[in-house]
Amino acid sequence: MFGGRPLRRGEVDVVVRLAAGSAVCSAVRIDERRLLTAAHGVTYGGGLFDVRSSDAPLPRARVIARHPQLDLALLELETCIGTGGVRLPGVGVVTEGMRLFAAGFGARSPLQPHGTWRASGGTSRVAHVTPSRFVAARDPVVACFGDSGGPAFSADRQVLLGIVQGYDRHGDRCGDPIGYTRVDTADVLTWLACGGVGG
Upper half-sphere CA count for residue 137 (Cβ side, 13 Å) = 10
Pairing of strands 133-136, 120-129: antiparallel
Q: What is the pLDDT of residue 141?
A: 65
Give the residue among 23, 118, 16, 22 at the shortest CA–CA distance from 76. Answer: 16
What are the φ/ψ torsions at residue 2 (nearest 5 degrees)?
Answer: -65, 125
CATH number at residue 30: 2.40.10.10
Specify whether 96 is located in the same domain as 147. yes
Specify whether 102 is located in the same domain as 179. yes
CA distance 187 to 59: 29
Burial of 176 (0-12, 13-18, 19+ CB in 10 A): middle
Q: What type of residue sits at position 160? A: L
Specify whether 100 is located in the same domain as 36. no
Lowest-pLDDT choice from 25-34, 35-44, 54-63? 54-63
pLDDT category, 115, cuts 50, 70, 90?
A: low
Specify whether 20 is located in the same domain as 57. yes
Specify whether 112 is located in the same domain as 163. yes
Specify whether 50 is located in the same domain as 63. yes
CA distance 134 to 180: 5
Burial of 66 (0-12, 13-18, 19+ CB in 10 A): middle
Specify whether 81 is located in the same domain as 124. no
**Domain containing residue 167:** 5-9+89-186
Give domain status of residue 193, yes or no: no
Helix segments in the chain, DSSP class H:
186-193
Specify whether 77 is located in the same domain as 99. no
Specify whether 95 is located in the same domain as 180. yes
Q: What type of residue sits at position 56? A: A
Give domain status of residue 192, yes or no: no
| Domain-ending residue, one of 28, 63, 86 | 86
| Domain-ending residue, one of 71, 86, 101 | 86
Return all residues near 111 (Cβ < 8 A) that are at least 6 apart.
Answer: none
Give domain status of residue 60, yes or no: yes
What's the number of domains the chain is made of? 2
Give domain status of residue 32, yes or no: yes
CA distance 36 to 168: 20
pLDDT category, 55, cuts 50, 70, 90?
A: low
pLDDT category, 58, cuts 50, 70, 90?
A: confident
CA distance 91 to 189: 8
| Domain-ending residue, one of 30, 62, 86 | 86
Higher-pLDDT residue of 48, 170: 48
Specify whether 135 is located in the same domain as 171. yes
